[in-house]
Amino acid sequence: MICGMTTVHVRANQTTVDWAEGAEFVCERTPFVDNLIQHGGLTELEGIDAPDAFETDRDLAYEKYAEASHEIDVAYSNVDSSAEDRRRAELALEEAQKNAASSQKDLTETRSDAADTIAELNADLDTEPPKPPRTRRKTT
């Protein structure tokens, strides 16, 4: 699990290369993001439950899998462990494997959804009418 990272739920106050004005998203809190919040480029949305993008149940599933794998190793390497201890460790590993597989499936679906969203946004950008050229002011 990535430790020490915090996330923030924000709304974009302007259109940039990365987001459209009005878009709401969760991102890592960095000095860059804090600067944008401070200067009005982003608005921090407080009091809204936002999923933490960096510390998720997905991470927990892999931690439990690692722990269950270790328990299996311990149960089978210890000559004093009972058949019941070994079976309990095997069941814990099976459950952890199912959870890890489910988390991987969720991650794959999320990545696919993100790719679709990016493709849609890029298509929208391609269909926008060109902006009129700026006229230069003459200085006297």
Quick: pLDDT tens for 57-108: 556 777 777 788 778 777 777 777 788 888 888 888 888 888 878 878 888 8
Average pLDDT of span 28-51: 79
Range of the structural domain that residue 115 is part of = 56-122
89 within domain boundaries: yes
Domain count, the chain: 2
Q: Around 2, how many Cα atoms within 13 Å sit in the side-chain half-sphere?
A: 10
One-letter amino acid at 116 equals D
Same domain, 85 and 109: yes
The pLDDT of residue 49 is 46
96 within domain boundaries: yes
Whether 89 and 75 have beta carbons less than 8 Å apart is answered as yes
65 within domain boundaries: yes
139 within domain boundaries: no
Q: 3-state secondary structure string, 50-106?
A: CCCCCCCHHHHHHHHHHHHHHHHHHHHHCCCCCHHHHHHHHHHHHHHHHHHHHHHHH
